[in-house]
Amino acid sequence: MAVSRSRKKTVSKKTAAAKPRAAVKSAAARKTTTAKPQKKNANPLGLEKKLPGQFDTLQEIALEAWRKMPAPVWDHLMGGSDSEMTLRRNRAGLDALALRQRVLVDVRNIDMGTTLLGQKLDIPVFPAPVGGFLGKVHHEGGPAVARAAVSRGTTAFIATAAKPSLEAAQEAVDRRLVFQLYVRGDRSWIEGVLDRVRAAKYGALCVTVDRNYYGRRERDIISGLPVKEGFGDQSYQASLNWKDLVWMKERVGLPLIAKGIATAEDAELAVEHGADVVYVSNHGGRQLDHAQGSIEVLEEVVRAVAGRAEVLADGGVQRGTDVVKMLCLGARAVGVGKLLGLALSANGEAGVARMLELMEVEIRHALGLMGVTSIRQLGPEWLREVPVLGTPGPVSAYPLLEAAVRKRRG
């Protein structure tokens, strides 16, 4: 393995406060009251535009979402299954890797463009599917996320549960998006969905394969937040196998993405059964508890795929440097789930577009400071294993938010 991985132990802790956050002043309000006259930003590494009320950092987006969201909704977004070990490992795995840096390289121009199934992405980041959650914080989550992603030159994964409909999200943009399928019914239900996906002119089908049982998310169970697990024949999803994947690809007639792969063995099977893209994911720590962190399994999956399919990854990504680390280990692009939910909650479509813009800024800064001019130069040699500092968790990438959560908890 190019990056050796003996992990230091970290102490567990609860991740989110359980009360409304009126005490933390709205970042948007703060910006509005202190807004200065706008100046054109001459810094090529900076943000494209600076508007009053706009977020300048990802941290402000997260803080604003925390302040706005009722506690059960926050817990639904940020929590994981059972003991939340996988959730924490996603971050711990990222924090256990440091970036190497080279200096005195001309980094005025940095190319962070990539491709997915032949489609150009201006940034190596995309909104992961976050299903029904979008509808909890936004009246038309699917089209809003689609528009924001396309406005920043990337694609979006539109989930089966996205509102108002799978058709509305694809119709909102010119670019062909990815439809993500949760099997929530029997074979005839799947046929109906796949026919709609094809008719709506999606560009690819992503089948989520790590959800044969619905993860036990105890925060939701205890808060009583109504979460729709599915309808129709629930046992069908537990019976899914590799042949079903082949059948789905044939039926829809689109490139296939298998999402939720976490071992070399399954990566091999996915390729054998026609996956064009292998998507490394543990569902953001919401399914199997005590699984490995996503970044910890990325290298073995990339090695098993051996260039026969494209590789995507997600899990714990909150910063541009997280994206860079996943690219170093062989991901072609990286999904954000919780961060997407935070951005949509903070400021709707504009919040998502800004989040992607800030991600781009952070990635460009990281690459510039590493002395890298193209993401094609990245590889495992840019990483070193280091002891994990602090307590990794879903808010630990944002120190001000972490402090606010701790203060509120008392």
Ligand X SMILES: Cc1cc2nc3c(=O)[nH]c(=O)nc-3n(C[C@H](O)[C@H](O)[C@H](O)COP(=O)(O)O)c2cc1C
**CA–CA–CA angle 70, 73, 79 (5° rounding):** 125
Of residues 15, 90, 114, 345, which one binds ligand X by CB under 6 A?
90
**Residue 281 contacts ligand X per CB under 6 A:** yes
Specify the stretch interacting with ligand X by CB under 6 A; choose among 39-47, 96-104, 298-306, 309-317: 309-317
CA 365 to chain centre: 20
Specify the stretch interacting with ligand X by CB under 6 A; choose among 186-194, 301-309, 334-342, 348-356: 334-342
- Can you name the residues that pair with 257 across neighbouring β-strands? 206, 277
Segment 369 to 398, residues that bind ligand X, using CB under 6 A: none
Segment 238 to 277, residues that bind ligand X, using CB under 6 A: 259
Specify the stretch interacting with ligand X by CB under 6 A; choose among 3-11, 14-22, 127-135, 380-388: 127-135
Binding map of ligand X across residues 19-58, x = CB under 6 A, - = no contact? ----------------------------------------
Nearer to ligand X, 53 or 218 (CB): 218
Of residues 208, 223, 347, 396, which one binds ligand X by CB under 6 A?
208
Of residues 124, 316, 368, 392, which one binds ligand X by CB under 6 A?
316
- Can you name the residues that pair with 383 across neighbouring β-strands? 99
Tell me the H-state helices in 200-241: 218-223, 235-239
Smallest gap from residue 147 Cβ to ligand X (A): 19
Residue with tokens 């940020």: 78
For residue 366, what is the enclosing H or E element?
helix 338-370
Nearer to ligand X, 59 or 208 (CB): 208
**Burial class for 302, CB neighbours closer than 10 Å (0-12, 13-18, 19+):** buried
**Residue 72 contacts ligand X per CB under 6 A:** no
Nearest in space to 74 (alpha carbons), one of 401, 410, 403, 407? 401
Smallest gap from residue 150 Cβ to ligand X (A): 18
Smallest gap from residue 55 Cβ to ligand X (A): 18
251-271 in b/e burial notation, b at 16+ Cβ within 10 A?
bbebbbbbbbbbebebbbbbb
How far apart are the C-alpha atoms of 351 and 53, rounded to whole Å?
11
> Could you report how far apart the first and last alpha carbons of the chain are, in Å?
43
**Burial class for 240, CB neighbours closer than 10 Å (0-12, 13-18, 19+):** middle
**Residue 292 contacts ligand X per CB under 6 A:** no
How far apart are the C-alpha atoms of 81 and 71, rounded to whole Å?
17
Active site annotation includes 273: no
The catalytically annotated residue of 138, 273, 283, 365 is 283
**Interacting residue ranges for ligand X, rule: CB under 6 A:** 77, 90, 128-131, 133, 159, 161, 180, 182, 208, 259, 281, 283-284, 286, 314-317, 335-339, 341
Active site residues: 283
